[in-house]
Structure formats: structure tokens, C-alpha cells
């Protein structure tokens, strides 16, 4: 039981080392690993085809610039900004999206 | 029979489709700011020029023709029109601020061979954000008219009307630029299109290719309904399998090509990084983990406090009007059965329901404001993580919150959820949300057993606290039910969460007032028909049959009193005899017998036979409970001069068990409210769930589990209360 709980904690958003976009420009990461204010260019949208199809249809196609705006309380879901609008997806879906050419913007406010 | 040409209105959710529809038709339809608020297909007749009528159909918002929800399916099927008549044209509304995403749908629709018009909406907002779209270049590239507009201000509406007229005259279909596809996928589309050709004799090459692409993306190997042609199905499945084993992603190839087509138009110009918008600034507070949650809790508290407090002056006015009407009519109509029927059956029955109109109007207005401002979408974002722990989608929050108002539209609002299992889960759990029809019951009970205006902790009134507790219980029960149902009857995988957050917008009074009015009208119409009919029925059940022996006995007693007593003493004696006779006659009536028969099952819950009659009648509709009690007690006390002016609450408070103890103790009141929170006492909800699920299985399950839950919970509350001696008087 305790082992299980600790494992859950380790996987949680708070303890996971987050990638600071400043230091790894040109490298790639999964979308859920980005800090709020960071962004990059979509490389691939994986996961279940029904989900990935809709994400791509909403403009999250390879080559699109996307920024992470914020995570909700408890670190999930995540709010993204792309093509002039705001989109929320769950962390599990974000983890299926690979991002390259990471960069950092000034966070909102 | 109308032969007017049909024009469809399509577009992304939140693109302003419904506003365009309203501006064109003058109809005041629902304008929501929540993705997918337009659930039903709505249409209106529109006179384009003198004598030239068209039928305008407002389709549910959709991002793509590859539908993911029943709503999007409605939109996609209307546009494809595989069966039935094709529309004469389509207007696609594109939000200029999210131009590319809107153009994705335009690109798909432009291949269907339908005359088309692009309504480029919200150009002012786009310009403010440094985005400009060259509409004449866009028009040239797609071969369709483009109307730039600001629908909320009515700008571009006249041009849109003119465009519709010329669209119908020229019947020109769009000529979109070619999709930049790789040769392999292009060849595959041609192969499928060739197979489709004999089945679609009236289509052109572009629309056959479009259907081929659509089939490649959406064909369900197990479900033959979306493509009935065996050879086409086989070809599509073969190509898909081959692509899969070659490691290709057909979705990505097709979708990327479409976005490349849109970007290749070169009609959108974005200035350097736009400055931070006010809507983002608001969001950084309202979706903040801490401040956002505090704000949400505050909003909900304000909602409950306002229902309880702001409505009181309005209720007093209605109350006085009903009492005045009764007094007037009591002089006009001779005493007897007819007077009883009209005053105690008809007027009191409807009046007891009408009095709750102010609260219902306030609640609907507040929900509507949250919806139109865009805040409701933020709530879904904030709450998704918590909803998921009980197996619900963040979007399920909207039907659930609507459940506070009425389960019937809320059940219909579950169509925004794309998965059947998610929809069923929400549908079965949401009737536990405390709907507005329960409000009259709570208010009656709270007003009777509590000192509603007494402050608790100095900030909130006792009444508001009790009311809030009932709503909290209903939320807890709903979430628990969803969690249990999702792990038992509706076991299955959890869905996904893909939600657009629309920019905050100022809610507009023009759309708020008619929406609230229509809700209130529905409630009042219910009061006017179902509740009136049931009030009269209950009055009949309570009045008949009469026991003639009892009548004779009381007649003798009255005569004896007249001989022995005089003056006020006589009046008192007579009125108490009247009251006693009515009480005994009511026990002899049909309703009294039923109530008595079930009383043994209700006594452990703290309810007597009169409350039993109310509960029985409330299975038709909850709000009937109040009018039934009105009739039960109205008849009982109607012979008393001063009692005629007493309120129902006072009568309830005075009612006693045969052993002389009070019926309406605070404990019994709470048990009664708990019963009403949990019981499925609404024929309309059962009917709408039957309609949405297509089977009696789910409404039957819903009715059974809720009734058992309600009985056991009320039993538990009352027995625990008795054991610890709380709330007994």
C-alpha cells in the first residue's frame, strides 16, 4: 500500500523534474513536461487515433507552434495556446505529443 | 408544406453561429458561450427579399465533418445528406480570431458540392489582436463569396442576406485550391472515389474524393451504417490496413495537407506577438488553482444566497395577489363544492406553484450569465481532475449544473459528451442534482421548521444554510452515484478531455431575458397544465367519497351546540366542529385511505399519512407536493374564519400526530428534504431519459435506485435523529 502511494507521488506533476525551455533549445520534449510559458513546435501527435485525429483537426498538426499557458489545480488538465485560441487537454493526452525547438515566452501577467 | 429552399448555418462552436442566426431571423434563440451549447437543430423561416422565403437551419457547432459526438454527427449528416434531400446552400461562420481552425471546416465543406458562403465573424476582435484576414483574396482562392462581419453589432448582416440571395440564384459551388497531398494518399483517394462513382451518380469528382477521405478516417469496420456499399468498405479497409503496416498515419497525412492548404492561402496576416489580452489576465486569476477555486466557491455561495433572499419581495407580491383573488371569489361564489373546487383546488393549487417563479427566474438567469460569460468553460477546466475521480468528464459539469435548474434540459445537454457511456453515466446520476422543482419543497419545509432569517455564525441565515446543505447533499449524492454506477453497471474506459476555452465575453441582456422568460414560461405552463390537473384530481381524491354517517353525526353536534351556546363561544364551537368533521372526512376520502395504507412504511421516516399523500402526488412532479399539502391542509382548516388567512406554513406547523406530538419537527423536516433530494419524483425526467437512451432499461434503473436510496437515507436520518434526540421540537 505505501509503496503504491509513493509510486503515485513520484509520478505526480509536482515532483517530476520539469524541463526549462531556456536550457535545451533545439531539443525535444513531451508537451506535458513543459513549464507554463514554454512552447515549441509540434513534432508528432500520438496516442489513440480518435483523440489524436481531433487534436490535429483542431490545428495541433506537426509544424504548429504551441505554448503551454497553465496547468489546472492538481496539475491537470493543461491549457494550451495555438492558432489564436485556447485549448485544454488532459496531461495524459499532452504526454503523447512531442515538441521540438523549445522556447520560452514571458508568462501571462 | 413548405417548399422554401434550405440554407444550413455551420461553423465551429463559439464562432458566433447562433448570433448570426438570431440577427438574420430575429428569433431569440439560445446564445451560449460554452462549446457545443446549440444542442438541437433549430430552424426559422426567413424572407430574403419580398416573396422569397428560405428555411435557415442552425446546425450544432462542429470542428470537423469527422464527428466525435451526437451533436457533431447531426451537423455532419445534414451536410453530407447521404439520405434525404440536400440543402440548397451552406453558410460557414468562421471566427476570424481562430481563423485557421475555422477554415479547416470550411475546407472540408467546400468539397461537398454545395453552394457556399463564408461569414468571417469577429473581425473587430481579430484586428484588436493584430490579426487581419484578406477577405477578397480568400474569396478568390476558394471561389466563394466572403462576408466580413461583426455579428454581435449587426455589421455585415445585410451583406450576408444579399449573399444568400445571389448564392441561391447562381448555385455556384466552391472551387477550393487542391489539397497538397503526397502522391501515395492521392492515388488511394482516387481508387476509393472510383469505387464510389457508380453508387453516387450525381456527385462530382471533388465530392467523391472528399467522401473517400472521410471514409478513410471514419469508417468503422464493425458498423456498416456509415457506408452501405460492400465493395467500397472492402477497399477502404484494405487501404487502411496496408497504410498501417507501412507505418503511415493517414489521419496525419490528410489533416496536415488541409492545414497546409489553409496556410498556403496567405490571406492571414498576424502582427508581431500580440500584447497580453484582458481575457488572459482574467484567466490567470480565475483558473488559478487557489484563487480560481475560491472564486468558484464564492460564485456558488452568491447563487444560493440570492435565490433565498432576492426573491422574497417578489414572492410577497404574488402571495398577496393569490390571497386577494381567493377573498374576492369567496364572496362571488356561493359556499359549497364549487367554491371548494375553485378556491382550494384550482387557485390555491396553481398559486402555490406560481409563488416560486421568482426563485426559478433568478437561478436560471445566474446559470445563464455564467454560461454566456465563458466562465462555465473555465469551471470545466478547473474541475476536470476532480470529476475524473468519480469517472466523469469535466464537460459533464455543464449538464450537472443545469441539473440544478431542471433535469429535463440537463439530460438533453449530455449530448455534448461524445461517448455513450459518459452520457449514460451523467444521465443516470444527474436527476440527483437538486432541481428547481425541489426548491418549492425545501422552501416550504425550511420556512416551517426553521427560523429562516435567524443568522448563523453571524453571516448567513439559518434558512440559507439549510438550503445550501440540501444542495451540497445533492452534489455529494450525484458524484457518489456516478462513481458507483461507473464502477458497476457502466464499467468502461474513461474518455478524453478536449475543450476550447472561449474568450470572456460580456453577457448580453438581449439574450438573457428571453432565455429566462422561456424557462419560466415552461415552468408556469407545467403549473398551468399538469399541476393544475393534479391539484384538481387531488382535491377530488381528498373530497370523495364522503361518509354520510359522519356528516349526520356532526350535523347533530352543530345543532346541539347552537341550542346550548351563544355569541363568540358558539362561533368557536362551530368552527372547531367544522374543522374536526373535515379532518375525519379527509381520512375517509380516497387519498386519506391510500395515505393511511402506506403510513406504516412512512412513520419510521417521521412522515404521517398527510405527508404520504403529498409524496404520492409528487411522483408525478415534485412541485405538486406543495399544492397537494395546500389542498390537504386547506380543506382541513378552511371552515375556520381566521384559519382561512393562515399560511400553509402555519397549518403545517400546527399539524399534530394522533398522540399530540408535532408532525413537522425539524428532524422530520430534514428527513423529508433528504427524501426529496434523492427520490426520482419526476415523470418528465423519466420520459426524456427513455427518449435519449431509446430503452426503458435505463429509466427503470434510475427510478429504482433513486427511490430505494431516498427511502433508506430518510430512514437513516430520522432514526439517528431519534436516537440522539435532536430536532424533536
Per DSSP, the residues of B680-718 read --BHHHHHHHHHHHSSSHHHHHHHHHHHHHHHHHHHHHH
Looking at the predicted structure, is the pLDDT value of residue B269 above 50? yes
**Contacting residues for B639 by C-beta, under 8 A, at least 6 apart:** B575, B578, B579, B581, B582
The residue of A84, A87, A103 whose CB has the most chain B CBs within 10 angstroms, and thus the best one to mutate to test that interface, is: A84
Is B498–A87 a contact, with Cβ atoms under 8 angstroms apart?
Answer: yes
In this prediction, residue A53 carries a pLDDT of 93
Provide the shortest C-alpha distance from residue B202 to chain A (in Å).
Answer: 29
For a pLDDT cut of 70, what percent of chain B falls above it?
88
The confidence band for B27, taking pLDDT boundaries of 50, 70 and 90, is: low
Q: Does any CB of chain B come closer than 8 Å to the CB of residue A56? A: yes
Q: Which residues of A touch B100 (CB under 8 A)?
A: 59, 83-84
Which segments in chain A show pLDDT lower than 70?
Answer: 1-26, 105-109
**How do B455-456 and B146-148 pair as beta strands?**
unpaired
User: Can you tell me the mean pLDDT for B155-180?
Assistant: 93
For residue B104, what is the nearest residue in chain A, using CA coordinates? A57
Averaged over B584-594, what is the pLDDT? Answer: 81
Nearest CA in chain B to A43: B252
CB contacts, 8 Å: A51 with chain B: 496, 498
A49 touches chain B (CB under 8 A): yes
**How many angstroms away from the CA of B377 is the closest CA of chain A?**
10
CB–CB contact B500 A64 (8 Å): no
Q: Which three cell numbers stand for residue A46?
A: 500520438
Contacts of B65 in chain A (CB under 8 A): none
pLDDT tops 70 at residue B499: yes
pLDDT value, residue B636: 44
Mean pLDDT for B393-404 is 78
Q: Which positions ≥6 away from B378 have C-beta within 8 Å?
A: B283, B286, B287, B292, B501
> Among the ranges B153-162, B531-540, B719-728, which has the highest mean pLDDT value?
B153-162
pLDDT of B641 over the 50 cut: no
> Residue B416 has what pLDDT?
64
Please name the residue that has the C-alpha cell 474513461.
Answer: B494
CA distance B95 to B102: 6
pLDDT of residue B675 exceeding 90, the answer is yes
Residue B116 is predicted with a pLDDT of 96
The CA distance from B301 to the nearest CA of chain A, in Å, is: 21
pLDDT of residue B274: 55
Task: Supply B19's cell numbers.
Answer: 448570433
Annotate B636-696 with DSSP letters as a single string. Answer: HHTTSTTGGGS-HHHHHHH-B-TTS-BSS-HHHHHHHHHHHHHS--BHHHHHHHHHHHSSS
β pairing state of B460-461 and B455-456? antiparallel
d(CA B102, CA B120): 9
From B262, which residue of chain A is nearest by alpha-carbon distance?
A: A59
Query: For B179-190, what is the mean pLDDT?
Result: 94
CA distance, residue B616 to nearest chain A CA (Å): 45
- What is the predicted pLDDT for the residue at B414? 77
> Which of the pair, B191 or B465, is modelled with greater confidence?
B191
Query: What is the pLDDT, as a whole number, of residue A24?
Result: 52
What does the pLDDT look like over B98-139, one tens digit per residue?
999 999 999 999 999 999 999 999 999 898 888 899 999 999
pLDDT of B142 > 60? The answer is: yes
End-to-end Cα separation, chain A, in angstroms: 42
Residue B659 has what pLDDT?
A: 81
Confidence of residue B389 (pLDDT cuts 50, 70, 90): confident
B643 — pLDDT class (breaks 50, 70, 90): very low
What does the pLDDT read at residue B661?
A: 83
Question: Confidence class of residue B629 from pLDDT cuts 50, 70 and 90?
Answer: confident
Are A71 and A13 in contact, with CB atoms under 8 Å apart? Answer: yes
Q: Where would I find the beta strands (DSSP E) of B325-457?
A: 455-456
Residues of A in contact with B131 (CB under 8 A): 84
Asked whether the beta carbons of residue B497 and residue A48 sit closer than 8 angstroms, the reply is no
| A57 touches B: beta carbon within 8 Å | yes
Interatomic CA distance for residues B529 and B514, integer angstroms: 22
Cα–Cα dist B689/B704, whole Å = 14
Q: What is the pLDDT of residue B352?
A: 63
Distance from the A96 Cα atom to the nearest Cα atom in chain B, whole angstroms: 13
B373-382 in b/e burial notation, b at 16+ Cβ within 10 A? bbbbbbbbbb
Half-sphere exposure of B63 (CA within 13 A, CB side): 21
Q: Which of B251, B280, B293, B376 to mutate to test the interface with A (most CBs of A within 10 A)?
A: B251
Min mean pLDDT across A38-52, B79-93, B220-234, B657-671 is at B220-234
pLDDT at residue A15, as a whole number: 36
What percent of chain B has pLDDT above 90?
32
The 10s digit of each residue's pLDDT in B433-456 is 998 788 888 988 888 888 767 777
Question: Which of B304-313, B339-348, B666-675 is least confident?
Answer: B304-313
**B98 contacts A83? CB cut-off 8 A:** yes
Residue in A54, A56, A79 closest to B381 by CB? A79
> B315 or B556: whose pLDDT is higher?
B556
**pLDDT the model gives residue B651:** 77
* Alpha-carbon distance values, B562 to A47, B578, B639 (Å): 90, 13, 16
Amino acid at each position: 500500500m505505501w509503496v503504491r502511494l509513493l509510486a503515485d507521488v513520484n509520478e505526480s506533476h509536482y515532483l517530476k523534474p520539469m524541463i526549462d525551455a531556456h536550457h535545451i533549445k533545439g531539443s525535444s520534449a513531451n508537451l506535458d513536461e513543459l513549464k507554463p510559458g514554454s512552447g515549441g513546435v509540434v513534432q508528432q501527435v500520438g496516442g489513440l487515433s480518435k483523440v489524436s485525429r481531433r487534436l490535429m483537426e483542431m490545428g495541433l498538426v506537426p509544424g504548429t507552434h504551441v505554448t503551454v499557458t497553465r496547468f489546472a489545480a492538481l496539475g491537470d488538465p493543461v491549457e494550451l495556446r495555438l492558432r489564436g485560441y485556447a485549448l485544454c487537454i488532459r496531461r495524459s493526452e499532452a504526454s503523447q505529443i512531442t515538441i521540438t525547438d523549445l522556447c520560452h515566452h514571458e508568462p501571462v501577467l | 408544406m413548405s417548399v422554401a429552399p434550405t440554407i444550413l448555418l455551420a461553423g465551429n462552436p463559439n464562432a458566433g453561429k447562433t448570433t448570426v442566426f438570431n440577427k438574420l431571423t430575429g428569433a431569440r434563440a439560445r446564445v451560449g458561450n460554452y462549446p457545443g451549447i446549440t444542442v438541437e437543430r433549430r430552424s426559422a423561416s426567413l424572407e430574403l427579399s419580398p416573396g422569397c422565403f428560405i428555411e435557415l437551419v442552425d446546425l450544432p457547432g462542429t470542428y470537423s465533418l469527422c464527428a466525435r459526438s451526437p451533436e457533431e454527427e447531426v451537423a455532419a449528416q445534414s451536410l453530407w445528406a447521404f439520405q434525404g434531400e440536400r440543402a440548397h446552400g451552406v453558410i460557414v461562420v468562421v471566427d476570424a480570431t481562430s481563423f485557421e481552425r475555422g477554415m479547416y471546416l470550411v475546407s472540408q465543406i467546400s468539397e461537398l458540392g454545395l453552394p457556399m458562403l463564408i461569414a468571417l465573424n469577429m473581425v473587430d476582435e481579430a484586428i484588436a489582436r493584430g490579426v487581419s484576414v484578406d477577405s477578397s483574396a480568400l474569396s478568390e482562392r476558394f471561389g466563394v463569396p466572403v462576408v466580413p462581419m461583426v455579428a454581435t453589432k449587426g455589421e455585415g448582416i445585410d451583406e450576408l442576406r444579399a449573399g444568400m440571395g445571389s448564392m441561391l440564384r447562381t448555385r455556384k459551388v466552391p472551387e477550393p485550391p487542391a489539397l497538397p497531398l503526397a502522391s501515395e494518399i492521392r492515388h488511394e483517394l482516387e481508387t476509393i472515389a472510383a469505387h464510389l462513382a457508380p453508387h453516387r451518380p450525381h456527385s462530382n469528382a471533388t465530392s467523391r474524393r472528399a467522401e473517400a477521405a472521410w471514409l478513410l478516417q471514419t469508417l468503422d469496420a464493425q458498423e456498416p451504417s456509415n457506408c452501405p456499399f460492400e465493395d467500397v468498405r472492402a477497399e477502404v479497409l484494405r487501404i487502411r490496413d496496408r497504410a498501417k503496416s507501412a507505418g503511415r498515419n493517414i489521419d496525419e497525412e490528410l489533416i496536415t495537407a488541409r492545414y497546409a492548404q489553409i496556410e498556403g492561402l496567405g490571406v492571414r496576416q498576424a502582427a508581431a506577438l500580440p500584447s497580453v489580452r484582458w481575457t488572459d489576465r482574467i484567466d490567470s486569476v480565475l483558473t488559478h488553482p487557489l484563487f480560481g477555486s475560491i472564486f468558484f466557491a464564492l460564485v456558488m455561495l452568491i447563487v444560493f444566497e440570492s435565490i433565498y433572499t432576492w426573491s422574497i419581495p417578489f414572492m410577497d407580491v404574488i402571495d398577496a395577489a393569490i390571497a386577494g383573488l381567493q377573498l374576492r371569489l369567496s364572496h362571488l361564489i356561493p359556499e359549497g363544492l364549487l367554491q371548494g373546487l375553485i378556491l382550494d383546488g384550482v387557485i390555491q393549487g396553481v398559486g402555490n406553484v406560481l409563488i416560486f417563479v421568482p426563485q426559478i427566474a433568478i437561478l436560471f438567469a445566474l446559470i445563464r450569465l455564467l454560461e454566456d460569460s465563458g466562465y462555465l468553460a473555465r469551471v470545466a477546466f478547473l474541475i476536470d481532475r476532480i470529476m475524473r475521480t468519480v469517472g466523469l468528464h469535466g464537460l459533464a459539469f455543464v449538464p450537472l449544473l443545469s441539473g440544478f435548474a431542471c433535469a429535463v434540459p440537463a439530460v438533453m445537454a449530455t449530448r455534448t459528451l461524445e461517448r455513450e457511456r459518459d452520457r449514460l453515466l451523467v444521465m443516470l446520476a444527474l436527476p440527483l442534482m437538486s432541481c428547481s422543482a425541489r426548491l418549492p419543497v425545501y422552501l416550504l419545509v425550511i420556512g416551517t421548521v426553521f427560523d429562516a432569517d435567524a443568522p448563523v455564525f453571524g453571516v448567513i441565515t439559518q434558512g440559507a444554510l439549510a438550503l445550501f446543505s440540501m444542495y451540497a447533499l445533492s452534489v455529494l449524492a450525484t458524484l457518489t452515484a456516478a462513481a458507483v454506477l461507473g464502477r458497476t453497471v457502466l464499467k468502461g474506459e474513461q474518455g478524453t478531455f478536449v475543450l476550447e476555452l472561449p474568450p470572456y465575453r460580456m453577457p448580453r441582456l438581449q439574450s438573457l431575458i428571453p432565455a429566462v422568460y422561456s424557462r419560466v414560461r415552461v415552468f408556469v405552463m407545467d403549473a398551468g397544465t399538469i399541476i393544475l390537473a393534479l391539484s384538481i384530481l387531488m382535491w377530488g381524491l381528498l373530497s370523495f367519497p364522503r361518509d354520510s354517517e359522519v356528516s349526520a353525526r356532526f350535523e347533530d353536534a352543530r345543532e346541539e351546540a347552537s341550542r346550548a351556546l351563544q355569541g363568540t363561544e358558539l362561533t368557536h364551537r362551530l368552527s372547531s366542529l367544522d374543522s374536526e368533521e373535515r379532518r375525519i372526512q379527509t381520512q375517509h376520502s380516497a387519498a386519506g385511505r391510500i395515505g393511511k395504507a402506506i403510513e406504516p412504511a412512512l412513520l419510521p421516516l417521521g412522515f404521517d399519512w398527510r405527508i404520504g399523500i403529498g409524496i404520492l402526488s409528487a411522483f408525478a412532479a415534485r412541485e405538486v407536493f406543495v399544492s397537494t399539502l395546500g389542498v390537504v391542509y386547506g380543506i382541513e382548516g378552511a371552515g375556520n374564519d381566521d384559519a382561512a388567512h393562515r399560511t400553509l406554513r402555519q397549518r403545517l406547523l400546527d399539524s399534530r400526530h394522533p398522540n399530540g406530538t408535532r408532525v413537522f419537527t425539524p428532524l422530520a423536516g430534514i428527513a423529508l428534504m433528504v427524501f426529496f433530494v434523492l427520490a426520482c419524483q419526476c415523470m418528465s425526467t423519466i420520459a426524456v431519459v427513455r427518449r435519449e437512451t431509446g430503452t426503458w432499461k435505463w429509466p427503470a434503473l434510475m427510478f429504482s435506485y433513486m427511490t430505494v436510496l431516498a427511502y433508506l437515507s430518510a430512514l437513516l436520518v430520522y432514526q439517528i435523529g431519534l436516537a440522539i434526540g435532536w430536532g424533536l421540537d
